[in-house]
A and B are shown apart, each in its own frame.
Chain A
Amino acid sequence: MSKKVSQEQYEKTFSYKFKRWLDGARDPFLDTVEMKPQKEFCEEEEVVRQHDEDRKQHIRHVYDMEHNAEMRIFHRVYKIFSILFCVFLVAMLLEAVSELPTFGEPDNPVNNEVAERYIEKGLQETGAINIVTGMILDYRAFDTLGESHVLFIATCTVLILLRVDKKESRDADETDDRSYEPKDDVILQTAAKLLVPPIFIFGIYIILAGHLGPGGGFSGGAVIGAGLILYQNAFGFAKTEEFFTAKTYRIMSFGALACYSIAKSYSFYTGANHIESMIPLGTPGAILSSGLILLLNICVGIVVAGTMYTFYAMFRKGGH
């Protein structure tokens, strides 16, 4: 600061005040305006009743239901037309259904060359014994990628809707929520101790054997997610968050989706450029067979399991 004006003099000038006001160092209303905390807004009963009556009178005057012939006719015609429309819609749908070919006929349009190729060459081209998995994770893997992303986006949306920002309100909410239910329920805890490990093992089996038998990433992931929810119910958030937090979910989900995308990009790249894929299909029936399907199944399973549990956790205590 230049020494032409002393500090005391400078503090009296307008520019100094303006600078302070600009920096937010001084509240311009402080000591000049009387300030009181605002009273909580609540309407009195009398006022509410008055409003209600006013509205009723308003409606009566504007529409005048007893004497307004136009309004009356409109209401009657509206009812008749709505019934007619429903009948018409039902008739149209029934007519359309009756036009459909009989279920299970061999000449139906569904039984075209696409289904034929899947059934005849599926095992040879994908290496998966379970033809359904071969279809959704090899021929139509791009669809499944979209489905996995839908789950991820759904979690993001729920997080936006149920987000709790302030720390105090979150704590209050959690204690409030816990007070509803019995803590340390012996029956539930014993049952969970017995049930959760088999549920997890069953889910992992479903995921890993997705290309060999019925099952796959989505069902296995859902089973593991249900097991996680049961564990959480029995032992509470404190214990579950020792190994599964929102951060874990974020890392898991991102890793799985990225892994899926990279693996599928590789196979799309090689397929589009007619390069021989480096990944062997293996012998059908072995656990390490059918190319990328096992990896993709694991990725989908991780995303689904995490999503199921995170939905539940966010519904219980809000996202953060």
Chain B
Amino acid sequence: MTIFTCILLGFLVVCAVAASLSKNLLNTILIFMSYSLVMSIIWILLESPDLAITEAAVGAGVTTVLFVVTLKKIHAVIRSNDDSEEKEEGNKENE
């Protein structure tokens, strides 16, 4: 069990550093979400399941959704080029 905890803690540190170093904001949010998810498992290992439930629902769920919505609102999510081309082709086919 200790080894498992150590692996999780290491993952936590990696996630925290990666979230602050990542240049893409969407990647940062996803890394932050995985941070919360690992944190909720660690809460269970620390024998506080009520905190684990809250962390999973708020940290990994609601906060991430709010972040993504905000990114979309400020037009920070950039669609990759080939994806938009595919969409255009699809639109033409539909027409």
Q: Which residues of A contact B (CB under 8 A)?
A: 130, 132, 180, 206, 214-216, 218-220, 222-223, 225-226, 229, 308, 311-312, 315-316
Given A308-B62, A315-B66, 8 additional A-B pairs, CB 8 A? A215-B49, A222-B54, A222-B62, A226-B62, A229-B62, A312-B66, A312-B69, A315-B73
Given the complex of chains A and B, what is the CA–CA distance between A41 and B70 in angstroms?
29
CB neighbours of B57 from chain A (8 A): 219, 222-223, 225-226
B94 → chain A closest CB, angstroms: 14
Decide: A180 and B72 in contact? CB cutoff 8 A.
Answer: yes
Given the complex of chains A and B, what is the CA–CA distance between A214 and B73 in angstroms?
37
Decide: B50 and A132 in contact? CB cutoff 8 A.
Answer: yes
CB neighbours of B62 from chain A (8 A): 222, 225-226, 229, 308, 311-312
B85 → chain A closest CB, angstroms: 18
Given the complex of chains A and B, what is the CA–CA distance between A84 and B70 in angstroms?
38
B63 → chain A closest CB, angstroms: 10
A25 → chain B closest CB, angstroms: 44
Interface string of B65-76 (1 = CB under 8 A from A): 110011011000
Closest 8 CB pairs of A and B: A222-B57, A214-B49, A219-B53, A214-B50, A226-B61, A219-B54, A315-B69, A223-B57
Decide: A312 and B65 in contact? CB cutoff 8 A.
Answer: yes
Decide: B65 and A219 in contact? CB cutoff 8 A.
Answer: no
Given the complex of chains A and B, what is the CA–CA distance between A66 and B14 in angstroms?
43
Using a Cβ cutoff of 8 Å, how many contacts connect chains A and B? 47
Given the complex of chains A and B, what is the CA–CA distance between A169 and B57 in angstroms?
33
A294 → chain B closest CB, angstroms: 16
CB neighbours of B50 from chain A (8 A): 130, 132, 214-216, 219
Given the complex of chains A and B, what is the CA–CA distance between A112 and B50 in angstroms?
24
Which one of B49, B53, B54, B65 contacts A229 once the chains associate, using CB atoms below 8 Å? B65
B79 → chain A closest CB, angstroms: 10
CB neighbours of B70 from chain A (8 A): 315
A169 → chain B closest CB, angstroms: 14
Given the complex of chains A and B, what is the CA–CA distance between A311 and B65 in angstroms?
10
CB neighbours of A214 from chain B (8 A): 48-50, 53
Given the complex of chains A and B, what is the CA–CA distance between A311 and B62 in angstroms?
9
A305 → chain B closest CB, angstroms: 10
Interface presence of B58 (CB below 8 A): yes
A36 → chain B closest CB, angstroms: 34
A244 → chain B closest CB, angstroms: 16
B43 → chain A closest CB, angstroms: 10
CB neighbours of A215 from chain B (8 A): 49-50, 53
